[in-house]
């Protein structure tokens, strides 16, 4: 693997995003609230972690 390819792959591996649909619905939040996802955060990106943990907990309590 050449240096440019390695750099690109490293950048893509570290890319994080919060996804919204065309109506403005936060897709990660929707998945968490339905019990379809689990929260996993990174030390360098804690945006919305509290909200995500609350949604995950509510889904667990709802069964």
In terms of residue numbers, what domain contains 43?
Answer: 19-62
Neighbours of 2 (CB within 10 A): 7
| 39 inside domain | yes
Q: How many domains in the chain?
A: 1
| 49 inside domain | yes
| 12 inside domain | no
Neighbours of 27 (CB within 10 A): 12
Share of the chain above pLDDT 70, in %: 89
Burial class (CB in 10 A: 0-12, 13-18, 19+), 40: exposed
**For residue 27, what pLDDT is reported?**
96
**For residue 2, what pLDDT is reported?**
75
| 6 inside domain | no
Q: CB within 8 A of 55, min separation 6: which ones?
A: 29, 32, 33
Higher pLDDT, 30 or 15: 30
| 2 inside domain | no
Record the pTM.
0.70
């Amino acid at each position: 693997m050449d240096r440019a390819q390695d750099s690109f792959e490293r950048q893509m591996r570290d890319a994080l995003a919060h996804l919204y649909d065309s109506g403005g619905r936060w897709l990660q939040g929707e998945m968490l609230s339905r019990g379809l996802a689990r929260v996993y955060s990174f030390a360098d990106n804690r945006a919305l972690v509290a909200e995500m943990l609350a949604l995950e907990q509510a889904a667990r309590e709802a069964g």
